[in-house]
Structure 1
Amino acid sequence: MEFTDGYPTEQTASKLGDHLDYLHGVEESMNTIPGATYALRQGLLDAGVMDGEVLLFSKLSDSRSLVLTGNADTVYFWSFLDQTPGPLVVQTPADSLGIWYSAC
């Protein structure tokens, strides 16, 4: 980065602007995750899926599904775990890809 008399050159200012745009995007994404996670958990609870139970989608998703960024070629399963009593060991099927959330 280059500065003339303490001011960034046009190229440096442009590079800094691009970097700030990127950082604001990352910040927005990171700030959105807790709200999306809360909404997902609340949706499962409203559907009667309690913490520690697993919701397994019996069919592949399509364009009518309400799954956030759902794929049409993926079998989904969701669960929220209560780790208040202590650590848990979770076994999932081989070759499965998933994220488990703690509900504590």
Structure 2
Amino acid sequence: MDNAEDLKRPVQLPADCSIGAIRGVYEMVRDAFRRESRVEIDCSGVDKADVTSVQLLLSTAKTATLEGRPLVLTALSPSLRTTFERAGLPDETMGGQSVSQQNNPQHSDGT
């Protein structure tokens, strides 16, 4: 079993986060989400990303928001940053901030 220090390390996304590799990325993120109350995802090593990467990270952020848990993405690689921009998401939406608070589009009246 991993020691407590190992469990607190950020999830390091692999170089390939495209549709061909997204199942493994999903499992990595899911496992971290299950064992930690606060999840930090290091995106610095991502060389290959597409809309599936965006979908996975947005879905993870939405789940964190619904559960009231912090989720932080750090060090977005140029490739992943470009993928978010092409998907129509502003740079601030995901880059190095707590996305569980950033990514909730609802207004205070619930709309």
Query: Would you call these one fold, judging by a TM-score over 0.5?
Result: no
TM-score normalised per structure 1? 0.25
Structure number with greater Rg is 1
TM-score normalised per structure 2? 0.24
Q: Which has the higher contact order (CA 8 A, sep 6+)?
A: 2
Whichever structure has more helix as a proportion of its residues is 2
